[in-house]
Amino acid sequence: MVSINWKEFKEYKQHAMKDNNFEILLDFMKSYYNIISPLDMYDVLKADDTAKMMLAKRNIKCAEDLETFLFQR
């Protein structure tokens, strides 16, 4: 399983045009890891403590919730 490389994320974030760290993280995962499936993305996020806090803050409890979040933005 892929784990989030926070060092690379910080580098990616410096060039992002968004202010929301969670949205930047989702874009980073799409770009850096080429993960586009909400199910795969959710699996990676729920395996990381920091990402789990981001999910909880947005009340995302499953891959379907993440999919809904992705299509609302």
Q: Which of 46, 2, 31 is nearest to 23 (CA)?
A: 31
pLDDT, position 44? 97
pLDDT, position 1? 77
Question: What CA–CA distance (Å, rounded) separates 29 from 69?
Answer: 15
User: What's the predicted TM-score (pTM) here?
Assistant: 0.92
Q: Where are the domains of the chain?
A: 6-72
pLDDT, position 33? 96
For every one of its 73 residues, what pLDDT tens digit does the chain have, with 9 covering 90 and above? 789 999 999 999 999 999 999 999 999 999 999 999 999 999 999 999 999 999 999 999 999 999 999 999 7
